[in-house]
Amino acid sequence: MKVAIVNDMPMAVEALRRALAFEPAHQVVWVASNGAEAVRKCAEHTPDLILMDLIMPVMDGIEATRRIMAESPCAIVIVTVDRKQNVHRVFEAMGHGALDVVDTPALGAGDAREAAAPLLRKILNISWLIGQQRPSASKTVATPLREASQRSGLVAIGSSAGGPAALEVLLKGLPRGFAASIVLVQHVDQVFAAGMAEWLASASGMPVRLAREGEPPQPGQVLLAGTNHHIRLLQNGQLAYTAEPVNEIYRPSIDVFFESVARYWTGEAVGVLLTGMGRDGAQGLKLMRQQGFLTIAQDQQSSAVYGMPKAAAAIDAAVEIRPLERIAGRLMELFAK
């Protein structure tokens, strides 16, 4: 991977260089000390991946991410030393297309390889996405076995890069007391999931919280997958977290949840696939369509990263392809009280 580092702190740059050195295939192609410099350098030499700091002089990481994704798009991972303080900034950057977030590796504390492992794992995931590759595995589509009886409707939503901002827009378009249940699967580490639920609740006005093990989806509630395990619907109508399948690149996987909805949900349901890089959710959305559920993919023009919706459109998984601002209205038509 050709990697660029955007950070105004020499110690952070050195920590990232040392972490990347554990994987000889990674090459640091340039370093920028602020967002404006990064935008210029990216236009001249676009790397495979940018490790982007959030707080910098001249231009911060949020604006730099927005500019780069508009002018010279490439994969961006936010690197921060203070997750709790910067949680809202992280979601704003992800809304502009950043793929993920990770802590700055500790320099000179404990096992250096262990400290570098989270960053290296995320880079490996992104290399699979960029190359449109997935770990080898055979995916079995099971025959639907529906026993639980859901009287209310369900909206299953999946999103990745650009997702936080897209989810804010979608949820703002729905009224409090929306008649259907909503379950969100966003590619985000569990350390940020609680903060994201709070941010979405305050930004949209909808009641958003983390999904709990063993609870069923509830009308009027927005439940967000909240761990690094996958979330799925069980035969009894309850939600559960599971480590399997271990081969999925992103945790939680949108495909895993969509497929479980297709298998077990007996009421009305809609699958919605929003902005994101890669193909996660496309196959699950297709299975939902095959089971007679309405499926919606975000259109290219309104997507920060037109990867996952494009993959869904390519395999005819989406019944409807809609601009982001028109998805909430469609859901209200379907689930009007």
What residues are annotated to the active site? 160, 187, 280
Query: Which SS3 state, helix, strand or coil, does residue 139 take?
Result: coil
DSSP lists the bridge partners of residue 194 as none
Alpha-carbon distance of 46 to 66, in angstroms, equals 15
Alpha-carbon distance of 200 to 11, in angstroms, equals 33
Are residues 1 and 26 in contact, defined by beta-carbon separation less than 8 angstroms?
Answer: yes
In the chain, DSSP assigns E strands to 2-6, 27-32, 49-52, 75-80, 100-103, 154-159, 181-186, 208-210, 222-224, 230-233, 239-242, 269-273, 294-298, 320-322
In terms of Cα–Cα distance, which of 174, 194, 225 is closest to 327?
174
Alpha-carbon distance of 184 to 168, in angstroms, equals 12
Residue 75 region by backbone torsions, left for phi larger than 0, else alpha for psi between -120 and 50, else beta: beta
DSSP one-letter string for 267-289: S-EEEEE-SBSSSTTHHHHHHHH
Q: At what angle do helices 282-290 and 254-264 cross, to 10 degrees?
A: 10
Amino acid making up residue 182: I
Amino acid making up residue 303: S
Structure-block tokens of residue 28: 């640091």
- Residue entry with tokens 């979601």: 91
